Amino acid sequence: MFDIGSYVSYRSEGVCKISDIRRENFGALGKETLYYVLTPIGDEKSTFFVPTDNEKLVSMMRKVLSEDEIYELIREVAKREYEWIDDSKRRGAHFKEILANGEREELVFLVRCVNRHIYEQTAAGKKVYVTDISAMKRANKLLFDEFSRIIPMSSPEDMTALIEKICNEK
């Protein structure tokens, strides 16, 4: 169970503060349910209600990582084989799923793959799809929102540099 005042990363919404834990009745059944009340950092006007008894939604609330955990996560991604999906529709659907789930390891891998692809395409004088760049930017933003609370970074683009730096360490 999470505590009021804790920070969590929630799906693709990014870092949220648990502003309250309270009972609400949102359904037509008239049953009160206990909810985590999440307020996204940087958008205090938005609120998410996550039922405490919904294991699937609660599992999408992840504690914010420590600096060592962030570096270890990126090192684990560096061990994965670089994969590129040539079919742009399949690739777009895959990226959309990764962004919707907000799974950190997959977000880091998305950034790494797209960044490598951009490098390869540019070196070969070929174009890069705008949708690939957009997916990488969105992943960078999600990671930046969480990781910059722990590791000083000035912009989401700094995420790519950090990921590449750690992945290229031998």
Using an 8 Å Cβ cutoff, are 110 and 124 in contact?
no
Pair (71, 16) in one structural domain:
no
Instruction: Specify the length of the chain in residues.
Output: 170
Pair (138, 161) in one structural domain:
yes
Pair (72, 151) in one structural domain:
yes
Pair (42, 12) in one structural domain:
yes
Q: Which residue, of 63, 88, 111, is where some domain finishes? A: 63
Using an 8 Å Cβ cutoff, are 10 and 63 in contact?
no
pLDDT of residue 109: 96
CA distance linking residue 43 with residue 61, whole number of Å: 17
Provide the number of structural domains found in the chain.
Answer: 2
- 69: tokens are 């955990």
Residue 24 belongs to what domain range?
7-63
CA distance linking residue 84 with residue 32, whole number of Å: 47
pLDDT in tens, 30-87: 788 999 999 998 788 899 999 999 999 999 898 889 999 999 999 999 999 888 999 9
DSSP structural state of residue 80: S
Of all residues in the chain, what percent carry a pLDDT higher than 70?
98
Q: Would residue 2 count as lying in a domain?
A: no
Using an 8 Å Cβ cutoff, are 137 and 115 in contact?
no
Question: pTM of this prediction?
Answer: 0.79
CA distance linking residue 76 with residue 47, whole number of Å: 33
Exposed/middle/buried for residue 28 (C-beta within 10 Å: 0-12, 13-18, 19+): exposed
Pair (39, 110) in one structural domain:
no
**CATH label of the domain that carries residue 152:** 1.20.58
Pair (53, 75) in one structural domain:
no
Q: Would residue 86 count as lying in a domain?
A: yes
